A and B are shown apart, each in its own frame.
Chain A
């Protein structure tokens, strides 16, 4: 075992980790934002809004993520009429995919809020968007924080799939170093350790948060 391969390439590898984090954070923000909109659309009483939303969710939830990434890699340049970086097309692919999952979490959270409160709010003359914004969403988002965080951890791990379109995120850079130095065991053990530490920290955080949510209210 030669662990110096790690220290010799640490800057290059950590640079990849930065890309991984950028990918995860931007996709997460986009996924939650569009997920809220799509989740609301999914439970709309208007068929012309709920039907396309439902279709979208079913479609993306039945596709393997790796296919979606490939697909957007080839599709995005056509859509915009010019070549796009792997980073941009990966981001768009991840957001499109994660939106479907977040929408389902958000739909569940919204439906967990009692109808009575909504009716009480309507009875005071509030409009639908006000009832959602001030009554339903604040409580629903709090209830679904644990599921949102779990999905975020999954998303963090899934960013490694952007490797297939040549994006130099953490795992891709690990394999690049490996092809140069041929130290597979050390390098892949190291990357496993990095994912373990990050994801474990995140899940411990989620669990503490879950306890807090259960104690409160």
Chain B
């Protein structure tokens, strides 16, 4: 479904964020990407829908080349939903309008169709009563659930999550993870950058550990936790799991 081949990304002239990264993500599976901050996990995610332009290598999403200038990137993005660390809702619009904007403007749905779809999605993420609230009136957890609904409204084939719970108060993390778990169990193809190892154990089929712009280790979930090969992976797991 997504194939990443020898991708290198530089920010500025001499700062290399991704170093020759190759991997693939399969349809219907959930992959968690973890690693210390600055390891390039978010950048890798942002290369997949060309929010970041990488200089070398190739990414193929559902048969479309991300790097090829002839690719209709807007068409590609329609199929790839993305959820961000800081939610990034449009503050001048209600929750409902946040969700219905792209379906109306990109998928050319009527307002009525888009709204009834949006209300279903809000029900699915458990905040139907907040349809007419503005982002500033919502808690972080509620905002992130609206953001997830906003992405799902485009009916994407793939969902990218960029540290979706990192900016949340601890008591709100659960409500967002619950939505993501449901989504994963329904068979959505998901790539999740997160430090929530409980989530990873529960729903991820595969875990990728990144450090210094490289994939250090990529394994199925139980192997990753039980038999990590690389000392850097073990070191990271020890530090991150010691508090659990």
Contact = CB atoms under 8 A, between A and B. Distances in A.
A135 B151 CA distance: 16
A120 interface: yes
A123 B82 contact: yes
Nearest to B74: A125
B154 A125 contact: yes
B202 interface: no
B49 A123 contact: yes
A127 B74 contact: yes
**Interface size for chain B: under 10, 10 to 19, 20 to 34, or 35 or more residues?**
20 to 34
Interface in A76-122: 114, 116-117, 119-122
Shortest 6 CB-CB contacts between residues of A and residues of B: A124-B102, A120-B88, A116-B88, A123-B82, A125-B78, A125-B77
Contacts, number: 66
Contacts of A116: 84, 86, 88
A139 B102 contact: no
Interface of B: 49, 51, 74-75, 77-78, 80-82, 84, 86, 88-92, 101-102, 105-106, 136, 147, 150-151, 154
Interface residues of A, number: 19
Nearest to B104: A134
Nearest to B98: A120
User: Interface of chain A, helix or strand or loop or mixed?
Assistant: helix
Given A126-B74, A126-B101, 9 more contacts: A120-B84, A120-B88, A120-B147, A123-B82, A124-B81, A124-B150, A125-B78, A139-B91, A217-B92
Contacts of A207: none
Contacts of B80: 123
7 contacts: A119-B88, A120-B150, A122-B77, A124-B77, A124-B151, A125-B106, A126-B102
A130 interface: yes
